[in-house]
Amino acid sequence: MDSFDIAVIGAGPGGYPAAIRAAQLGAHVALIEREAIGGTCLNWGCIPTKTLIAAAHLREEIAAAGAMGIGDGAAPRVDYAALMAHKNHTVAQLQKGVRTLLASHGVAVLEGTASFVNRNVLAISNGSDAPRQIKTGHTIIATGSASAMPDFLPRHPRVVDSRAFLDLGQLPRRLVVLGGGYIGCELACMAAQLGAEVTLVELLDDVLPLLDADVRREVKRNFERKLKIRLLTGKPLENIHADSAGVRGMAGEEQIEGDLLLVAVGRQPVTEGLAIHKAGLHANDKGFIEVDECGRTEVATIHAVGDVTGGPQLAHAATSQGVLAAENIAAARAMGRRMRRAETLVPGVIFTAPEVATVGLSETQAQTEGRAIKTGRFPFAALGRALTERRGEGFVKWIVDAQSDQVVGAAAVGPHASELIAEATLAVRMELTASEVGRTIHAHPTFGEAWMEAAHAVHGACVHTAKMKRAGAS
């Protein structure tokens, strides 16, 4: 039986960086994957969606360029098959890159499904050969999550989850999206920008419910007015039927029809077949494997990272946890070295049109916690660089502790929000004050200047916003 210092189960953005980091630290490492290197993120999540979203955005930009004297303002025709080929090429290219990285670090990649025989032995079966067993000192579980497909949904090719949606040969003319979380909203925008007629049904009172109301309002304005997405909130989609003619369902009193139903109602942890009980592990009542602040499960030699542990269910969180697990195992093996705690500040980006990005506390959260805060906002409509690109929609916002002036959260909605959030994340992580951010010279003309302006706005000292007339002043 082959023996490894560390076995990592699952090669997504949690597992493969854990394997590489462990190898860098001198461990003999096996990485076991049953489907595709890169996991959900690279194959059926972040990368394919953002490839399609980039194309959808480009189409919109080309149409908008008419106002700058470039082209005739018409949206170009979409060859969806060619777009899919580009998406598949991008995925393959990145997958090859990850394989090369793993090989260069000497990580043994074992293909098959892993299951525990006991806490130090794993069985790996690939369906064809007899299961192979390996011995391991430590294990990192990084088996991720899969789309939830509730039982009330008909099983039919016209009813798909995000994974199947990302492999469609053609874009449906009429798309119904069930679920107003970030995956549903991102794909709804993408489809609308590429020319589909989109209806989104959400059971809760609003889409993207974790966002502050002002941020949500800005996003929804674009969804409804520009992209013409129909938002039906506060209603379940019921009595769903699918056949060769299409998909139909009832949202309240209204009959909804489409060519395809995309189901985006949440993600569930993947532990089936792992036999975690044989290692002395238990999943919680929602199926997640719980870990402590250092990433350890209830069994000291087994760590778990990424979506399977619950938490933010984002690729960069999984990677941070994977690297931490590898480093903490190295510390445990060295005996006497202290384990590090997991980073808790995780930025979130929603790649809708417009993009949204948040980090730290939201205004609503701060208010719910009864924390005294101040806020500072700056609109892109007042920012030179945004207007050069005709992108005056949206704003950035700081949430600041009222007493200490420390920035405790931030939100950006509008152009390049996904990139802009990096500065805010660093500021919150480094516990900067709004005054320090405001005094930091930002290059002009850039989108980043919006953070500086918004930091000044916290103190009513923003140069580029008009002075408000005081009530009663003449």
* Interface positions with ligand FAD (CB under 6 A): 9-15, 32-36, 39-41, 45-46, 49-50, 113-114, 142-145, 162, 183, 270, 273-274, 306-308, 313-316, 318, 351
Task: Name the minimum Å distance from CB 368 to ligand FAD.
Answer: 25
Decide whether 316 or 374 has the Cβ nearer to ligand FAD.
316
Active site residue 277: no
Q: Specify the 3-state DSSP secondary structure of 440.
A: coil
Decide whether 40 or 139 has the Cβ nearer to ligand FAD.
40
Decide whether 48 or 438 has the Cβ nearer to ligand FAD.
48
- Strands 132-141 and 302-304, sheet pairing: parallel
Nearest-angstrom CA–CA distance, 282 and 278: 10
Triad 46, 14, 126: Cα angle to 5°:
95
The candidate with the shortest Cα–Cα distance to 391, out of 437, 355, 347, is: 355
Task: Name the minimum Å distance from CB 412 to ligand FAD.
Answer: 15
The answer to whether the beta carbons of residues 344 and 320 sit under 8 Å apart is: no
Task: Name the minimum Å distance from CB 250 to ligand FAD.
Answer: 26
Task: Name the minimum Å distance from CB 197 to ligand FAD.
Answer: 21
Strands (DSSP E) contained in 363-406 are 373-379, 395-401
The answer to whether the beta carbons of residues 222 and 355 sit under 8 Å apart is: no
Decide whether 46 or 411 has the Cβ nearer to ligand FAD.
46
At residue 256, what are phi and psi to the nearest 5 degrees?
-110, 135
Decide whether 51 or 375 has the Cβ nearer to ligand FAD.
51
Task: Name the minimum Å distance from CB 317 to ligand FAD.
Answer: 7
**Count of positions (residues) in the chain:** 474
Nearest-angstrom CA–CA distance, 56 and 128: 41
Task: Name the minimum Å distance from CB 376 to ligand FAD.
Answer: 27
Q: Specify the 3-state DSSP secondary structure of 168.
A: coil
Decide whether 420 or 434 has the Cβ nearer to ligand FAD.
420
Nearest-angstrom CA–CA distance, 256 and 236: 12
Task: Name the minimum Å distance from CB 69 to ligand FAD.
Answer: 34
Residues 28, 86, 444, 459: which is the catalytic one?
444
- The two counts, helices (H) then strands (E), for the chain are 13, 22
What DSSP assignment string belongs to 213-260?
A: HHHHHHHHHIIIIIS--EEEES--EEEEEEETTEEEEEETTEEEEESE
Decide whether 188 or 373 has the Cβ nearer to ligand FAD.
188
| Number of Cα atoms under 13 Å in the Cβ half of residue 231 | 23
Nearest-angstrom CA–CA distance, 300 and 294: 11
Residues known to be catalytic: 444
